[in-house]
Amino acid sequence: MSNIQGKNLHGKVALVTGASKGIGAAIALELAARGAAVAVNYSGSKAGADKVVAEIKAAGGKAIAVQANLADTESIGPLVQKVACELGPITTLVNNAGVYDFSPIEGVTAEHFHKQFNVNVLGLLLTTQAALANFSPDGGSIINIGSVAAGGLPTASVYSATKGAVDSITGALSQELGPRRIRVNSLNPGMVETEGVHAAGFIGSDFQKKTEADTPLGRIGQPGDIASIAAFLASDDSVWVNGQTIQAAGGARL
């Protein structure tokens, strides 16, 4: 967790989707360290979510773990209602849950398409819709975790398309929700060292070496690099930041 002493998120209630590990877990821990009450959503990894919650509580924070698979549209309403009931009106929504499945164009199928769009796009939209019905009347912040892959990566046409859609949704909702004092921004990481990246075999690969060579800051990202930016977007320090796509990739360009 952050060693920052300031509690600039005190009184805020955050829902972080897909927060049992990786970037989502780091964001949940960072928001809690700064004073927010945090709902740690998970799909299958209850142990991971419970570990994040335990770490937050051990540091004196407030958190709950809430199961919901965002590909199951029927689970989204109960997820948000549980958060609002146990923690209070939502002030921060971090749409982090996502899946990826790389394939050359020859391997693209309807199943491959819907697997990613159902979570990365439809799940994000419906979670946002449900959260807005339980949002603080004072407004707040929605942070959509996109990807530099929105610019297009080989063998990732469908995944890149989902992240391009996230950027478009961010632009549309920032205008639609601005009058309600709800800011909407995209936070788009490059390659980040997470459990999923390790499992995919990227760490130590030629892909990692090329990424580092193409990154002016000379390394791949760590979850905490993304979490600190998310905490800024959740705070009132970013009150005039709306409708932005923030590239968090050490200066790397696709």
Triad 178, 13, 28: Cα angle to 5°: 105
Q: Which residue out of 42, 117, 135, 159 is catalytically annotated?
A: 159
Does residue 159 carry a catalytic annotation?
yes
Quote the CA–CA distance of 45 and 53 in Å, as a whole number.
Answer: 13
Half-sphere exposure of 36 toward its Cβ, with a 13 Å CA cutoff? 31
Place of tokens 């945090």: 38
Quote the CA–CA distance of 169 and 176 in Å, as a whole number.
Answer: 10
- Give kind and range of the element (H or E) at residue 92: strand 92-95
DSSP state of 203: T
Beta-sheet pairing, 245-248 with 182-189: parallel
- Catalytic residue set: 159
